[in-house]
């Protein structure tokens, strides 16, 4: 895996499926990577209320059961939270922006991030004190990272929340901030992100020849788009510049693509019969 995709205007995915179908059909294995919130779960005011879209659940259950597919969910949420909300078998869960990865026979924790856990608890307390009494604010402690959610905060206070969060975290010198959709992500200053997690899964778990396909809606997904220029990368949401090749508008379109993927990739038993001339 070499090269890094550059920012550009993605192409509408459903206008180009006829060009993708031969690649999908001819690949022995598909490595399917999916963000959670905003990709397979509709964005909701409170992160605690998020659920896996029922139709996507049905499709992913079928795909994860097929030996031609390796399915991974890559999210800022903690692995335990993802497992509870998704509840899918035969799936790799990469949580905390890839700092922790778990599968059927796999368990990985980024070692430097683990070492910062006591300091992270202290930082969470500092943020709660600094941002106390802010109605609608939620600070989510995910053990290896924090999320400061301000979607339900009065819009007039959004810049203040960002400023206080960034300045508080900057004083720690061990953590860094990045913005997502109505959230500030607080992560340890380690060289690891969703892109690193995708590369690790492709190297350690998925067959080398697998075709990687990644769908995500947030800024943190750009790191993953950038590391698999040889794959199929799909941004979910608005048409702003991205490292992704393709664009779909919403979670419902993701479901349509997953159904197309299931139909376009022949089952191994069918493909074997066709090769045998039956």
Q: Is the model's pTM score more than 0.85? A: yes
pLDDT at residue 269, as a whole number: 55
Model confidence band, residue 268 (pLDDT cutoffs 50, 70, 90): confident
Q: Which residues are catalytic?
A: 35
* Residue closest to 224 by CA, chosen among 73, 49, 47: 73
Considering the chain, what is the average pLDDT of its residues?
93
Return d(Cα 220, Cα 107) in angstroms, integer. Answer: 22
> pLDDT > 90: what percent of the chain?
87
pLDDT digits (tens, 9 = 90+) for 124-144: 999 999 999 899 999 999 999
- Cβ atoms within 10 Å of 208's Cβ, excluding its own: 7
> pLDDT > 70: what percent of the chain?
95
pLDDT digits (tens, 9 = 90+) for 69-107: 999 999 999 999 999 999 999 999 999 999 999 998 899
3-state secondary structure at position 104: coil
Model confidence band, residue 208 (pLDDT cutoffs 50, 70, 90): confident
Calculate the alpha carbon distances from 91 to 77, 84, 128, 225, 242 in Å: 15, 13, 34, 20, 27
């Amino acid at each position: 895996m070499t090269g890094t995709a550059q920012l550009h205007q993605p192409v509408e995915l459903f206008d180009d499926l006829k060009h993708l179908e031969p690649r999908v059909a001819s690949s022995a294995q598909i490595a399917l990577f999916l963000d959670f919130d905003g990709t397979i779960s509709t964005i909701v005011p409170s992160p605690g209320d998020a659920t896996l879209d029922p139709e996507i659940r049905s499709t992913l259950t079928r795909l994860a059961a097929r030996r031609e597919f390796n399915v991974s969910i890559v999210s800022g949420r903690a692995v335990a939270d993802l497992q509870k909300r998704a509840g899918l078998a035969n799936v790799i869960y990469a949580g905390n922006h890839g700092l922790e990865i778990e599968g059927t026979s796999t368990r990985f924790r980024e070692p430097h991030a683990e070492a910062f856990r006591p300091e992270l608890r202290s930082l969470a307390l500092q943020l709660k004190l600094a941002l106390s009494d802010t109605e609608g604010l939620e600070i989510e402690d995910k053990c290896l990272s924090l999320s400061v959610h301000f979607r339900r905060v009065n819009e007039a206070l959004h810049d203040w929340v960002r400023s206080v969060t960034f300045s508080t975290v900057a004083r720690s010198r061990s953590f860094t901030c990045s913005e997502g959709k109505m959230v500030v992500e607080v992560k340890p200053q380690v060289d690891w992100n969703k892109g690193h997690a995708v590369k690790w899964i492709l190297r350690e778990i998925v067959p080398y020849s697998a075709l990687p396909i990644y769908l995500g809606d947030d800024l943190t997904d750009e790191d993953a788009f950038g590391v698999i220029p040889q794959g199929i990368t799909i941004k979910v949401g608005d048409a702003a510049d991205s490292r992704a090749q393709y664009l779909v508008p919403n979670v419902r379109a993701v479901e349509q693509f997953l159904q197309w993927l299931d139909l376009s990739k022949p089952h191994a038993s069918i493909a074997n019969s066709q090769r045998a001339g039956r």
